[in-house]
């Protein structure tokens, strides 16, 4: 059985293909101005990784993410919240709390021991606590996103960033640079400020072990460390790319849907 999932996020496109129970994730594709094109590029990359020649070989595809309705080859779409729950559970069955920090939003998702989403919270409207916040900061610090996420930048003497609004925080950081504060101190301060914001969201759904981190920002090790300190627990790594979890969850859903469809068809034909 070959199924697929495509997660069209606000800043990147991801696709995953499942052949029997094995997952093949494509490269993370930066979003283009045409959602359908981003989806196709992401799926082409996954096809290559899975060693498939054409998308026609995939029997069922689910679209997810901010642009889920724009995935041209999807049979149906499911919200990214459900897909992140499904994908994380598929990757690690002990997961109960998922923190997904994407380019434009941040979500805390609680799942049951059966992998079903029971509760979720999402950041309200602004960029605080999302990838966008890091992008703005990386630009001011001219260090790139990798710089902000790097472990070598973790300091014992972080500055405190009080503004949650990315625009105001940007001027706060400029002031800190002019005050000649060290870059690791500033970066650690930025990660802690985002972590605080994210943790208050997680508290609303409850912190239940195991906790895992998904989405683009899961690759930021400084943020991960700051989150662990505030949550008082370790964040469990996933055995697959955490940025592709939405696409993986969509593929798992596609498999379930296809199985249900086949069972129904079988029922109808046996009645006939």
Partner 1 sequence: MESIKSSDVFKKFSGIATSLKNSEIENWKKQGGKVIGYFCPVIPEEVFIAGGILPFRMRGTGSTTTDSADVYLKPVNCGFPRHTFNQALIGEYDFLDGLVVNTCCDTIMRLAVDWEHAGIKTPFIYSLDNAHAGGEAMVGHFRNQLQKMKDAVEKYFNVEITEQKLQDAIKLCNETKLLQQKLYELRKLPNPPITGSETVAVMVAGSSMPKEQYNKDLKTLLDELGNVNTDKKYSARLMIIGCGHDDTLLCDIIEELGAVVVTDQTCFGSRVMIKTISEEGDDPLMSIAGYLVLDVPYCPKTIGTHPERKQFTMGLAKDYKVDGAVGQCFISCDPWAAELYLLKSEFQEAGIPFIWFEREYIPDLIGQLKTRVEAFIETINN
Binding site for partner 1 (CB under 8 A): 66, 78-82, 105, 116-120, 122, 124-125
Q: Quick one: 32 or 119, whose CB is closer to partner 1?
A: 119
How is residue 150 annotated by DSSP?
-
Distance CA 234, CA 184 (A): 23
Main-chain phi, psi angles of 7, to 5 degrees: -110, 105
Q: Quick one: 105 or 241, whose CB is closer to partner 1?
A: 105
Query: C-alpha angle with apex 234: 230 to 239, nearest 5 degrees?
Result: 135
Q: Quick one: 66 or 134, whose CB is closer to partner 1?
A: 66
Q: Quick one: 24 or 89, whose CB is closer to partner 1?
A: 89
* In the complex, least distance from residue 122 CB atom to partner 1, rounded to whole angstroms: 6
The three-state secondary structure class of 5 is strand
180: Cβ contacts below 8 Å, ≥ 6 apart: none
Distance CA 229, CA 234 (A): 8
* In the complex, least distance from residue 184 CB atom to partner 1, rounded to whole angstroms: 34
* In the complex, least distance from residue 80 CB atom to partner 1, rounded to whole angstroms: 7
Q: Quick one: 104 or 171, whose CB is closer to partner 1?
A: 104
Q: Quick one: 126 or 221, whose CB is closer to partner 1?
A: 126
Main-chain phi, psi angles of 8, to 5 degrees: -100, 95
Distance CA 6, CA 31 (A): 13
* In the complex, least distance from residue 191 CB atom to partner 1, rounded to whole angstroms: 24
Residue 193 corresponds to which tokens in the numbers above? 């400020």
* In the complex, least distance from residue 236 CB atom to partner 1, rounded to whole angstroms: 23
* In the complex, least distance from residue 256 CB atom to partner 1, rounded to whole angstroms: 11
Q: Quick one: 191 or 214, whose CB is closer to partner 1?
A: 214
Distance CA 98, CA 56 (A): 33
Query: C-alpha angle with apex 52: 47 to 57, nearest 5 degrees?
Result: 100
* In the complex, least distance from residue 262 CB atom to partner 1, rounded to whole angstroms: 20
Torsion angle of the four alpha carbons 68, 69, 74, 80, in this order, in degrees rounded to the nearest 10 = 20
């Amino acid at each position: 059985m070959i199924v697929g999932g495509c997660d069209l996020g606000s800043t990147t496109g991801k696709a995953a293909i499942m052949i029997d129970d094995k997952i093949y994730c494509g490269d993370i594709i930066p979003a283009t101005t045409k959602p359908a094109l981003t989806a196709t590029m992401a799926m082409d990359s996954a096809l290559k990784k899975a060693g498939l020649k054409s998308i026609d070989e995939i029997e069922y595809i689910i679209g997810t993410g901010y642009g889920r309705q724009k995935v041209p080859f999807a049979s149906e779409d499911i919200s990214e919240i459900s897909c992140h729950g499904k994908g994380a559970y598929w990757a690690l069955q002990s997961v109960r709390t998922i923190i997904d920090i994407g380019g434009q939003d941040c979500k805390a998702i609680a799942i049951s021991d059966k992998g079903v989403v029971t509760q979720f919270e999402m950041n309200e409207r602004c960029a605080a606590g999302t990838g966008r916040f890091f992008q703005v900061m990386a630009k001011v610090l001219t260090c790139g996103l990798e710089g902000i996420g790097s472990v070598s930048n973790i300091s014992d003497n972080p500055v405190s960033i009080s503004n949650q609004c990315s625009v105001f925080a940007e001027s706060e950081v400029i002031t800190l640079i002019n005050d000649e504060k060290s870059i690791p101190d500033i970066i650690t301060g930025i990660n802690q400020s985002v972590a605080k914001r994210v943790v208050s969201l997680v508290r609303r759904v409850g912190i239940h072990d195991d906790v895992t981190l998904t989405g683009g920002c899961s690759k930021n090790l400084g943020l991960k460390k700051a989150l662990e300190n505030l949550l008082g627990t370790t964040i469990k790594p996933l055995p697959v790319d955490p940025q592709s979890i939405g696409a993986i969850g969509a593929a798992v859903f596609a498999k379930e849907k296809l199985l249900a469809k086949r069972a129904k068809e079988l029922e109808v034909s046996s009645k006939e």
